[in-house]
Amino acid sequence: MNGNRFGRLFQLTTYGESHGDAMGVVVSGCPAGVELSAEDIQRDLDRRKPGQSMITTSRGEPDEVRIQSGLQDGYTTGTPLGMVIENKDARSGKYEPFVTAPRPSHGDFTYSAKFGTRNWGGGGRSSARETVNWVAAGAVAKRVLAASDHDVQIKAHVSQMGDIEAPEVSFEEMLEHSEENEVRCAHPETAEAMRDLADEYQSAGDSIGGAIYFECRGVPRGLGAPRFDGMPSRLATAMYAIPAVNDFEYGIGREARTTAGSEYTEDWEFDDDGDPTPVGNDHGGIQGGITTGQPIYGEVTWHPPVSIPKSQRTVDWETGEEKDIQVVGRHDPVLPPRAVPVVEAMLYCTVLDFMLLGGRINPDRIDDRPGEYDTDYHPRSPENVDD
Amino acid sequence: MNGNRFGRLFQLTTYGESHGDAMGVVVSGCPAGVELSAEDIQRDLDRRKPGQSMITTSRGEPDEVRIQSGLQDGYTTGTPLGMVIENKDARSGKYEPFVTAPRPSHGDFTYSAKFGTRNWGGGGRSSARETVNWVAAGAVAKRVLAASDHDVQIKAHVSQMGDIEAPEVSFEEMLEHSEENEVRCAHPETAEAMRDLADEYQSAGDSIGGAIYFECRGVPRGLGAPRFDGMPSRLATAMYAIPAVNDFEYGIGREARTTAGSEYTEDWEFDDDGDPTPVGNDHGGIQGGITTGQPIYGEVTWHPPVSIPKSQRTVDWETGEEKDIQVVGRHDPVLPPRAVPVVEAMLYCTVLDFMLLGGRINPDRIDDRPGEYDTDYHPRSPENVDD
Amino acid sequence: MNGNRFGRLFQLTTYGESHGDAMGVVVSGCPAGVELSAEDIQRDLDRRKPGQSMITTSRGEPDEVRIQSGLQDGYTTGTPLGMVIENKDARSGKYEPFVTAPRPSHGDFTYSAKFGTRNWGGGGRSSARETVNWVAAGAVAKRVLAASDHDVQIKAHVSQMGDIEAPEVSFEEMLEHSEENEVRCAHPETAEAMRDLADEYQSAGDSIGGAIYFECRGVPRGLGAPRFDGMPSRLATAMYAIPAVNDFEYGIGREARTTAGSEYTEDWEFDDDGDPTPVGNDHGGIQGGITTGQPIYGEVTWHPPVSIPKSQRTVDWETGEEKDIQVVGRHDPVLPPRAVPVVEAMLYCTVLDFMLLGGRINPDRIDDRPGEYDTDYHPRSPENVDD
Amino acid sequence: MNGNRFGRLFQLTTYGESHGDAMGVVVSGCPAGVELSAEDIQRDLDRRKPGQSMITTSRGEPDEVRIQSGLQDGYTTGTPLGMVIENKDARSGKYEPFVTAPRPSHGDFTYSAKFGTRNWGGGGRSSARETVNWVAAGAVAKRVLAASDHDVQIKAHVSQMGDIEAPEVSFEEMLEHSEENEVRCAHPETAEAMRDLADEYQSAGDSIGGAIYFECRGVPRGLGAPRFDGMPSRLATAMYAIPAVNDFEYGIGREARTTAGSEYTEDWEFDDDGDPTPVGNDHGGIQGGITTGQPIYGEVTWHPPVSIPKSQRTVDWETGEEKDIQVVGRHDPVLPPRAVPVVEAMLYCTVLDFMLLGGRINPDRIDDRPGEYDTDYHPRSPENVDD
């Protein structure tokens, strides 16, 4: 409701501005008993980090996470994890011209219109820097799922940049190739072409849009609540929270509008276990808002970054003057490459939340099954006592 | 969380199955002092009603709403409105073959996988019949907005059916033409072609997908919370709750992926009041998740109805047999025409919710402004006393 | 937030006014697979019903509940239960004098101050008639708990009326005696004295306060979240929602203020299963906000009913006049006797909610344990098909 | 739900353990435009701080708060305030004997029973150290209320310790005297007696219970939602979140059970403004769950601290042995003196939350009234630009 909370049982609450002291995220509802270290989180933060390649902003943030609570001897305790990532390389001066003269297509004007003020350095609270918090939380969710009895795997890659569209790739190809190249496209040749395109736009002082394809494997059937809390609504909420997203589709998505029912419907057959399973997966793993057990997949569209060196026109509401501005900060020419870990993080959080709500993972602790609580109320590793 | 609640301050809680006794919706958080009658609601229910034309199911539901609480002398009291719509024409017998043999691409299997049981008549809780509740709540929201100081107008129309795409229409054309024809397309010639296409698929025992375009005018700037509670996330939640939706986009949507930054960004200029206003509205009325004051617009894609007379293949998990089935119930050949009032209803609810959260409308009562509470605590119309 | 919702996973949403058409409650989050009938609910409604004895209002309400959704062949489906109880014996005329002249110590003035209007017949939305909804929901919660692997038992009785205090009674005595007499006190002699006291105040046109003692047995240890969502906070929320409650305490309650630590603390010993168990239960089954497995008990205080025939003084805000009024409606001389089933209902709802949140009962379905979902997605009793 | 969130529109989310790295609180929903500094918060933290007198623990915590986000040039921005307070003087060694041998009447056992593990140093997450977060958030709420058009004043004092009961004091006496002495009792002579009593128990290696009386002035009438979200339920939730609370009452509280209706009800008269006002305030400022405009008051009971040097008996669930323990940490002999700022903080948060929900304060920004949004979207103090 206040804009900084996501999830129901597995819940993140975030704070921080691009050029503020620190970014922070509180993870509530993480089951106890999961081995977790700062390194587990750092790995994913590094994938999102600025400055990782020529096509990302050169801002030099180490993005080092400190876990300030929620652990005992390296295991989660079931109580909130407080994580803080300090901002180290904020240079707000370049944003001074925009204090009362909003940059085109940013949140500058709307934040000020809503709040009558805003933290203006580096885009403040509306900056994509916020997603560092989400990636930290997503890494926790990934660890929890890995510690459970379930084999949930989530991967995304850049499927389109401008007019360059990657051919369909398998989940295995995504796992193998998407982190090999700077654009995070799992199809190596396409990745090269995308890389060139990004360079081209960057050199021209311009930027370009793109898209990410994602897939979630191993999500058990029967997850998702009817109607307003169906899997699609929650996925959409998660994806639309990511800055600059303009479209979210799942299954065959937009193509569904030109598809006939006889073509769309998928017959049922028995799988090897004798369970009903649909022939095909145009439905994207979801029917009636609830999972079928087939992979969940979809695609998300980003508009181009709006921080571009090209001269743009704005007005200064303080002086009443029109003026030309250039956004000469340090910016990415295309968003999806760095958004891949963000998409994955939000998917991990969303899927885990449904697993907890649906009783697939015990919300209190992961090392026990309901009904067997009473045999084990031992704190872990009592030998490791330090003063 | 439980799947039957929508909204934060203006909140609907629903119940009911397609072939159950009644559909019901509790509207919580409706401000006091708004004139409201069953007729206000009936008007919109009639637009959604089955049997209204040849291209809708022939199920004969009067869809008469009874308001059981929340009014005094024709005005809302600020306390919950309980509304009930009885089901009068349920014929469950035709669904008997599907009890343990799920219809392809319905929620039959997933509901049973989740709950171990389901209300199976007419699709039960997963049926689109549920949307009758939403239209009732949306009619209340529309009344509240009309009673406020704001001039919010919302309209949708069918923009695509199969390969037939309507040309762009103005908001005024939508208001004028979209309710004139059975397919609810605001472009009369296209409407005719769509109507023919629907007939064609219906005659062939088949169905077809489609899309709805919507627009919200008069939504004040500064609405929407940062990040997870931005306007796009909430709109997406609302749209993805509607059965059979596969894609939601706003602004230029999916096209954004092929768009350059220099093309996408919109300069600022002063409007006639001396306020900054963007040149153009490719951003769809939302920047940084918060409204700019420009119209909010977007498009939603429906897959084809999956209840089709054509023979389909399924398996019976009770008997272990494969079998052919025909879904010979009463069904629509295309969903968007009857979904237009549903889209509008969900938009009204969503926008009002943001207006209340953003302090634009007093959440307690609409006839007063904060600070002037004390002068008026009179129940309305005390003369109308009956025993 | 809106005042008509209670619970997190097991959630009730209510509507209705004392003299409106109907009372209604939507129960969301009830697990599937629980046998449930209107009779199960009616039993508890009858215990709360007006007119059941000389010391309750003579209003003649049958309080017949209709379950409009959420069942299939007599078992819950996991989707919302919509329940409606029509008001049959509302006589609003007697409330006409109070429309703009608030009754002393009622919600008349505060509702009008908040909403600028109110449903004034019989106290409208502020009437204790609302608790009929809660008792219906509590009966559902009781059924769910009974169908689970747990043996939770909850009972309350009237422990004090005016100066008459019941001696301590055992849980078994509560079970055996509390429903035997009109005042619902489990100590027969005290019950008689209370009955006489109630008569006395009633005859004098006056009313009297009282208290209820409650106990919950079989609540497993480890329930309740830390800090803001501890068991005490949730119990208090539940009890303070009941009209006319002025005090809630648990464990030794108010006496704790005069108790020394050496006296209060309870040593640990091993129980027969070799589990740590506290010596004594002054802590009321809760330590650190979380259950110990010992019985949860507490006491709730009601102020006297404020609808009394004695002449009272008020002002008419419409006319500006002071005037004497008599509240000659049909009212109870003391509240706890009819509040016993209400207390029990709210406790059942609260405990079940914690059981679901704590993973003790599967939130989707009660007949399966997590991990065994896949073997059974059969709708129940498919043979019982009717058209 | 997860135990670390409080409030609806004005919301705190907390983390931290007694001996962890840091305590932290995220304040969401704070309106923009309120002048706020770390000093504003520090003042209240210092009142709660350990080591402030001989009757508090000697743990040496500076309790210095850092505000990591949510400000621009000293004013709130409407986006989340992240606050961190580092733990500097944690000595966990003394807690080693209790790792698998729970201290009597602490949360040691219940946390382990729930989570299968716990952060055991200093009581971990169940420690009263957590309330430092609440006091920080309460200081923010106090600033917001001070910046509003309303004159809300909240004060508490220690009204009872063991058998020593303070005489009734006026609100002005509380303001003047409650912070003058170590026990925070506003009646100077009683304070001395209480101080002696605390010494006595401390010297004896024992502890004692007590109570706090609170009062909220200037809360406007019409606040609080009906039924489940009435003012009493929310106050009770807040008070029962405070560790070691066993009783919460408001108005005449527990005495109501022996009071007659004719005595309890309060006539209405006109006040100087011609508004209805009740004669007397036995109702504690709340009728029908909604405020009357009269002061809200109540009393909260604490059990004695359970960390006492006296030898106690426990069992070790690892070794299976019974053993004697002494809790020789640094502890308070009585809780209310340091709980006074905690009670006030929770009341400030609760009242502000209702003010925002009830439209009395604009949830987005405090310097504007609804309807006048458009004239001011200027970030504050644009001159104060630094790089």
> pLDDT by residue (tens digit) across D78-120?
999 999 999 988 777 888 888 889 999 999 999 999 998 899 8
Q: Do residues C303 and C244 make contact, with C-beta atoms less than 8 angstroms apart?
A: yes
Cross-chain Cβ contact C289/D206 below 8 Å: no
Per residue in A25-45, pLDDT (tens digit) is 999 999 998 999 999 999 999
Give the residue from A115, B170, B225, C191 showing the smallest Cα distance to D11. B225
Please judge whether B270 and A211 are an interchain contact, meaning their C-beta atoms are less than 8 angstroms apart.
no
User: Residue B347: is its pLDDT beyond 90?
Assistant: yes
CA distance B153 to chain A (A): 21
Residue A385 — very low, low, confident or very high, per pLDDT cuts 50/70/90?
very low
The token duo for D202 is: 């401390």
Neighbours of chain C (3+ CB pairs under 8 A): A, B, D
The CATH number linked to D273 is 3.60.150.10
On the question of pLDDT at B206 being above 90, the answer is yes
Distance of CA D194 to the CA centre of its chain: 21
Q: For D10, which residue in chain A has the nearest alpha carbon?
A: A2
Q: Is residue B261 part of a domain?
A: yes
- Could D364 and B373 be called an inter-chain contact, meaning their C-beta atoms sit closer than 8 Å? no
The whole-number pLDDT of residue B378 equals 53
pLDDT at C302 over 70: yes
Using 50, 70 and 90 to split pLDDT, how confident is the model at B198?
very high
**From the candidates A112, A117, A381, A383, which should be mutated to test the interface with D, based on the most D CB atoms within 10 A?**
A117
D158 within 8 A of D183, measured Cβ to Cβ: yes
d(CA C214, CA C239): 11
In a domain, C204, yes or no: yes
Q: Considering chain B, what is the average pLDDT of its residues?
A: 91
Whole-number pLDDT of residue B379: 54
Q: Minimal Cα distance from A73: which residue of D?
A: D119
| Beta carbons of D350 and D234 less than 8 angstroms apart | yes
d(CA B141, CA B346): 9
pLDDT of residue B359: 87
Give me the pLDDT at residue B6, please: 97
Q: Is residue B381 in a domain? A: no
Of chain B, the percentage scoring pLDDT greater than 90 comes to: 76
**Chain C residues within an 8 Å CB radius of B17:** 69, 79
Average of per-residue pLDDT across C336-350? 97
Query: B1, B2, B9, B133: which to substitute to probe chain C, counting the most C Cβ within 10 Å?
Result: B2
- Check whether D306 is labelled as a binding-site residue: yes
Assess if residue C381 is contained within a domain: no
How distant is the alpha carbon of residue B298 from its chain centre? 14
Of residues B385 and B171, more confidence is placed in B171
Report the alpha-carbon distance of residue B58 to residue B317 in Å, rounded.
31
Which chain D positions have a beta carbon within 8 Å of C228's beta carbon? 3-6, 237, 241
pLDDT at D199 over 70: yes
Give residue-wise pLDDT tens across range A43-69: 999 998 877 777 777 778 889 999 999
Helix D231-241 / helix C231-241 crossing angle, nearest 10 deg: 160
Contacts of A370 in chain C (CB under 8 A): 359-360, 362, 369-370
Min distance D351 CA to chain B CA atoms (Å):
16
Tell me if A282 is assigned to some domain: yes
Average pLDDT over residues B165-187: 97
Residues of the domain holding D237: 5-375
A383 sits in which H/E element: none
Distance, CA of B276 to chain centre: 32
Residue contact C369–A373, C-beta within 8 A? no
Using an 8 Å CB-CB cutoff, list residues of chain A that contact chain C: 9, 79, 149, 220-222, 226, 273, 275, 357-360, 362-364, 369-371, 373-374, 377
Burial string for C326-349 (b: 16+ CB within 10 Å, else e) reads: ebebbbbbbbbbbbbbbbbbbbbb
Which residues in chain B are closer than 8 Å to C378, comparing Cβ atoms? Answer: 100, 112, 116-117, 317-318
Q: What is the ipTM of this complex?
A: 0.94
pLDDT of amino acid D384: 36
CA–CA separation, B91 vs B18, rounded Å?
A: 10
CB contact under 8 A, C373 and A226: no
Q: What is the pLDDT of residues D145-182, one digit of tens each?
A: 999 989 999 999 999 999 999 999 999 999 999 999 99
d(CA C16, CA B81): 8
- The model's pTM: 0.96
With beta carbons under 8 A apart, name residues in chain B contacting A320: 270, 274
DSSP H/E element including A201: helix A188-203
Closest C-alpha to D169, from D7, D297, D23, D262: D297
Q: How many CA atoms lie within 13 A of C223 on its CB side?
A: 30
pLDDT(D132) > 60:
yes
How many distinct structural domains can be found in chain D?
1
What integer pLDDT is reported at residue B292 of this predicted model?
A: 96
Residue C384 lies in a domain: no
pLDDT in tens, B244-266: 999 999 999 999 999 999 999 99
Least Cα separation, residue A323 to chain D (angstroms):
17
| Residue C37: other Cβ atoms inside 10 A | 11
Tokens of A306: 């709006």
What CA–CA distance (Å, rounded) separates A342 from A48?
A: 7
pLDDT of residue C262: 94
Residue in chain B lying closest to D372 (CA): B360
Q: How far apart are CA B49 and CA B58, in angstroms?
A: 10
| DSSP string for B9-62 | SSEEEEE--TTSSEEEEEEE-PPBS-B--HHHHHHHHHHH-TTSSTTS------
In tens, the pLDDT along C219-248 reads 999 999 999 999 999 999 999 999 999 999
Give the distance from residue A379's alpha carbon to the nearest chain B alpha carbon, in angstroms.
Answer: 32
Inspect the interface and report whether the beta carbons of A78 and D114 lie closer than 8 Å: yes
Band of pLDDT at residue D387, cut at 50, 70 and 90: very low
Mean pLDDT of chain A: 91
Q: How far is CA C158 from the centre of its chain?
A: 13
Taking only the tens place, the pLDDT of each residue in D277-288 is 999 999 999 999
Q: What is the pLDDT at residue D386?
A: 36
In the prediction, which pLDDT does A329 show?
A: 62
pLDDT at position A387 is 36
Structure confidence at residue A332 (pLDDT): 85
H or E segment and range at residue C294: none
Say how far apart CA C366 and CA D17 lie, in whole Å.
36
Over range B264-277, report the average pLDDT. 93
In angstroms, the Cα distances linking D194 to B159, D191, D207, D306 are: 77, 5, 12, 19
User: What is the pLDDT, as a whole number, of residue C378?
Assistant: 53
pLDDT digit string, tens, across residues C132-148: 999 999 999 999 999 99
CB contact under 8 A, B359 and D358: no
Q: Are B343 and B156 in contact (CB under 8 A)?
A: yes
Lowest mean pLDDT among A92-96, B34-38, D300-304: A92-96
Q: What digits encode the pLDDT tens for the residues C151-167?
A: 999 999 999 999 999 99
Cβ atoms B288, B337 nearer than 8 A: no
Using CA atoms, how far apart are residues B155 and B178, in angstroms rounded to an integer? Answer: 9
pLDDT at B99 over 80: yes
State how far the Cα of A236 lies from the Cα of B249, in Å rounded to an integer.
10
**Least-confidence region, from A247-261, B105-119, B147-161:** B105-119
Residue C30: is its pLDDT beyond 90?
A: yes
Q: Which residues of B touch D (CB under 8 A)?
A: 9, 79, 149, 220-222, 226, 273, 275, 357-364, 369-371, 373-374, 377
Tell me what pLDDT residue D84 has. Answer: 98
Does pLDDT of A380 surpass 80? no
Across the interface, do B120 and C15 touch by the CB < 8 Å criterion? no
**C359 is written with which tokens?**
């993973």
Annotated binding site of A, which residues? Answer: 48, 125-127, 288, 303-307, 330
The answer, yes or no, to whether residue C176 has pLDDT greater than 90, is yes
Question: pLDDT at residue C387 above 70?
Answer: no
**Gap between the terminal Cα atoms of chain B:** 42
Looking at beta carbons, which residues of chain D come within 8 Å of C252? 246, 303
- Chain D residues within an 8 Å CB radius of B9: 357
Ordered DSSP codes for A302-344: EPPPS--SS-EEEE-TTT--EEEE---S---S-SHHHHHHHHH
What percent of chain C has pLDDT above 70? 94
Q: Mean pLDDT over residues B62-87, rounded?
A: 95
The shortest CB-CB distance from D113 to any of C201, C222, C241 is to C222
Give the per-residue pLDDT at D56: 73
Q: What backbone phi and psi angles, to 5 degrees, belong to A312?
A: -130, 165
Give the residue on C whose Cα is nearest the Cα of B116: C377
Nearest residue, CB atoms, C149 vs list A222, A275, A371: A371
Sequence-separated (6 or more) residues with CB below 8 Å from residue A255: none
Lowest mean pLDDT among B19-28, B102-111, D212-221, D365-374: D365-374
Is pLDDT of C97 > 90?
Answer: no
Q: Is the pLDDT of residue C283 over 80?
A: yes
**Among A208-217, A266-275, C282-291, which is the least confidently predicted range?**
A266-275
The mean of the pLDDT values for chain D is: 91
Helix (H, G, I), strand (E, B) or coil at D302: strand
pLDDT, one tens digit per residue, over A95-130 is 888 888 999 999 999 999 999 889 988 889 999 999
Predicted local distance difference test score (pLDDT) of residue B319: 87
Burial label for D142, CB within 10 Å (0-12, 13-18, 19+), is: buried
Q: Is the pLDDT of residue C329 over 70?
A: no
* Facing B92 at nearest CB: one of C32, C66, C387: C387
Q: Do A376 and D68 touch (CB under 8 A)?
A: no
Question: Does D150 reside within a domain?
Answer: yes
Which is more confidently placed, B187 or C369? Answer: B187
- CA angle at B364 for the pair B360 and B370, rounded to the nearest 5°: 60
What does the pLDDT read at residue C309?
87
Question: Least CB-CB distance to D16: which of A28, A82, A364?
Answer: A82
